[in-house]
Structures are given as structure tokens and as C-alpha cells.
Amino acid sequence: MSTPGSTTLHNNQRHPDDWSQHARRYHSGGTMAGRRFDVQRTDQLDVALDLLEEITAHVQATAAAAEYLAGLQRTALTDALAAGASSRQLAQLTGISHVTINKLRDTTDDA
């Protein structure tokens, strides 16, 4: 059985005095080891957030580049179709489905 001020566990419960000491220590900033741990976690969080910002910037740049390249590809396909290339030939060269290329041709013809 626990006595007041004891940290002995009894049925996995601390004595009420132990909990109040724990709460005071927690709310006052904890022990030195606890503060070092908090500082370390804050530093890790700062590093993680910096990395996340950097990754986000790279993803946005990659998305912009992909959009630009897709535009170039559409232009090149349209020019090739206008020059007489078949959609099947272009499909073999690009790996894009000939059905998709035909849709591109249809949209270009409508414009």
C-alpha cells in the first residue's frame, strides 16, 4: 500500500500526493531533462517544417515544369498531326494512346 509522498505503485495507481507533485512539475516546465527534451523536440520540429517547405517548393516547381512540358508536347503532337503523321505512329513514338491523340486532333480541328 502507498504512503503519502511515496511513488510506489499499487494497482497501477499513484498516490494522490504523487499525482499532485507530478502535475506541479509538469506545469512548472518539468525537470531539466524534460526541458532539454522539449527543446530537442522543438528543434526537430523546426527542421521538419523547413524540410516540408523545401519539398513543397520542389513539388510546386515540378508541377509547373510538368504543365509546361505537357503544353510543349501538345504543340508538337498537333504540329505532327498537321504534317500528316498518323495517330498510331505518334502513339508508338510517345507512348500516348492513339485514342488520346485522336481526341487531341479532334479538339484541334474544332478550334
The answer to whether residue 10 sits within a structural domain is: no
Query: 97: which DSSP letter?
Result: -
The answer to whether residue 8 sits within a structural domain is: no
The answer to whether residue 81 sits within a structural domain is: yes
Q: Which long-range contacts (CB under 8 A, 24 or more apart) does 101-106 make?
A: 101/77, 104/74, 104/77, 104/78, 105/78, 105/81
Distance, CA of 15 to CA of 6 (rounded, Å): 7
For the segment 58-73, the average pLDDT, to the nearest whole number, is 95
- pTM for the model: 0.50
How many domains does the chain divide into? 1
Which H or E element spans position 74?
Answer: helix 32-82
The answer to whether residue 9 sits within a structural domain is: no
The answer to whether residue 6 sits within a structural domain is: no
* pLDDT score for 1: 45
Residue written as grid cell 503523321: 85
Residue written as grid cell 488520346: 100
The answer to whether residue 2 sits within a structural domain is: no
The answer to whether residue 11 sits within a structural domain is: no
Indicate the Cα dihedral angle 75, 79, 84, 86, nearest 10°. -10
Query: pLDDT per residue over 3-50, tens digit each?
Result: 555 455 555 555 555 555 555 555 555 555 556 667 778 888 889 999
| Domain encompassing residue 81 | 16-110
The answer to whether residue 74 sits within a structural domain is: yes
